[in-house]
Amino acid sequence: MTTVPPIRLPSGVRDFLPRAAARRRDLAERVLDVFEAWGYARLITPMFECADVLERGLGADAKAAAIRFVEPGTGEIVALRPDITPQIARVVATRMADVPGPIRLCYEGAVTRLAGERGQREILQAGIELIDDADAGDAEVLAVATAVLERLGLETHLDLGHVAPAHYVLAAAPDPATREALVAAISRKDRAGVRVAARALPPAIAPLAGELVQLWGPAATTLARARALAWPADVRAAFDQIEHTLASLESLTGARDLTIDLGDLRGFDYYTGMRFAAFATGAPDAILRGGRYDELIGRYGRPARATGFAIDLEAVAEAQRAAGVALPAVALGVATPDPVLAKALRAAGVRTVVQNSVAPEWLRGAGLDAAISGDRIVFADAREAIDNGAIQAARAGDTASLIALLKA
């Protein structure tokens, strides 16, 4: 006897039913509206690419997370995109090679990654990339991130950092094991662990490793504490850059309440300068991450400065749900067996189903507000109304009175 396997999904992916899908669609539209308001043009890239091409632009973690398979038509090894930024880099360096900078692009779509024991994980993502940017590029990207956060209906805060202090400390590690131990301890803000790992560092640098786990907090006081330490000139230049960016950001948006975390090492091997992350109440990890990655575009043949960020729409949706943020409003919806009336209502922006007699419970399940048949209106809450004049006028194309009645 043949056993029929159970109906299931792969680990780490899910369906979104209408209410959940509506929240995520609304989020994507809100975010893209902000991007476009700042002059970013939308780009759509494929779900998978030749693995060797895609991996030019991936950091070590993203390479490890990429899901690869053999493309049946060609036999090539291809990979599902774990990140969209390398695809943007490829497009700018090839398809847009003759387009002068600065280039402002945005995107929205799903990325797919391996996630340890949980297996495959699909993430809904949106982001921007500013390529061949001017000196104020970091401030502009931060300003767009700030504008997006304001649209989410959540309590959020933005952490700003720079990779230079961590690069200086970790470059002094005498061997890979010491470097790995330092990265792990600093990432956990484990002061005791850092002290142990830093014993292998030169005496002048070991104290700086310990300070990295404490260099976080309000921007002005954190930068002042950082400047009081014995950093080399290039790290001090990074602090100057942070201050300049914060001043430019304030002139763009008025934002002044950013915090700084110089010990956040996530992505430090990918970013080349400023990096930042946004956190929201109700989300266990950052909902937005970004920074400067000046080496990436050059891997595809067009050396260029670049900075950008990506926002995890799924994490934002879950944070909204946890915070009790209401679902987006849905346009008025009705059912009627009359195709003439249905056409008139659709022309007026009303969602309309051509359907014979319906019960209130069906209306509620279908996400509709009312059914119209003859001269009678049945509402999803089981109320009834009769207004033959409004219905007849709507059939003739004058839908205003009927729509007002349905909304009331």
Question: Comparing 236 with 194, which gets the higher pLDDT?
Answer: 236
Give the CA distances from residue 320 to residues 155, 251, 284, 323, 325, in Å, rounded to whole numbers and listed in that order. Answer: 10, 30, 13, 5, 5
In this predicted structure, what is the pLDDT of residue 117?
46
**Segments forming the whole domain that contains residue 380:** 333-407
In this predicted structure, what is the pLDDT of residue 108?
95
- Mean pLDDT value across residues 59-68: 83
**Nearest CA among 132, 142, 209, 137 for reference residue 174:** 209
Contact 93, 300 (CB under 8 A): yes
Residues 343 and 255 in one domain: no
**Nearest CA among 228, 187, 239 for reference residue 209:** 187
In this predicted structure, what is the pLDDT of residue 217?
92
Q: Inform me whether the pLDDT recorded for 185 exceeds 70.
A: yes
> Three-state SS for 12?
coil
* Residue 192 in domain: yes
Question: Comparing 243 with 398, which gets the higher pLDDT?
Answer: 243
Residues 368 and 261 in one domain: no
Residues 168 and 215 in one domain: yes
Q: What mean pLDDT value characterizes the chain? A: 88
Q: Inform me whether the pLDDT recorded for 168 exceeds 50.
A: yes
- Mean pLDDT value across residues 43-48: 95
**Tally of domains in the chain:** 3
The confidence band for 118, taking pLDDT boundaries of 50, 70 and 90, is: very low
- Judged by average pLDDT, the poorest of 163-177, 179-193, 359-373 is 359-373
In this predicted structure, what is the pLDDT of residue 131?
95
Q: What is the DSSP string of 260-325?
A: EETT--TTTTT-SSEEEEEEETT-SS-SEEEEE-TTTGGGGT----EEEEEEEHHHHHHHHHHHTP
Residues 39 and 104 in one domain: yes
* Residue 271 in domain: no
Residues 102 and 67 in one domain: yes
Residues 113 and 193 in one domain: no
Q: Inform me whether the pLDDT recorded for 119 exceeds 80.
A: no
The confidence band for 269, taking pLDDT boundaries of 50, 70 and 90, is: confident
Residues 131 and 190 in one domain: no
Residues 311 and 365 in one domain: no
Q: Inform me whether the pLDDT recorded for 350 exceeds 60.
A: yes
Residues 146 and 18 in one domain: yes
* Residue 276 in domain: no
**Nearest CA among 270, 272, 266, 277 for reference residue 305:** 272
Neighbours of 200 (CB within 10 A): 16
Residues 38 and 119 in one domain: yes
CA distance 353 to 183: 58
In this predicted structure, what is the pLDDT of residue 256?
66
Going by DSSP bridges, is the β-strand pair 274-280/156-162 parallel, antiparallel, or unpaired? Answer: antiparallel
* Residue 85 in domain: yes
Output the six-digit token pair for 352.
Answer: 């309309």
- Mean pLDDT value across residues 286-291: 93
* Residue 4 in domain: no
Sign of CA dihedral 44, 48, 49, 51: positive
- Mean pLDDT value across residues 244-264: 85
* Residue 95 in domain: yes
- Judged by average pLDDT, the poorest of 72-86, 172-186, 361-375 is 361-375
Going by DSSP bridges, is the β-strand pair 274-280/67-70 parallel, antiparallel, or unpaired? Answer: unpaired
The confidence band for 77, taking pLDDT boundaries of 50, 70 and 90, is: very high
Residues 310 and 384 in one domain: no
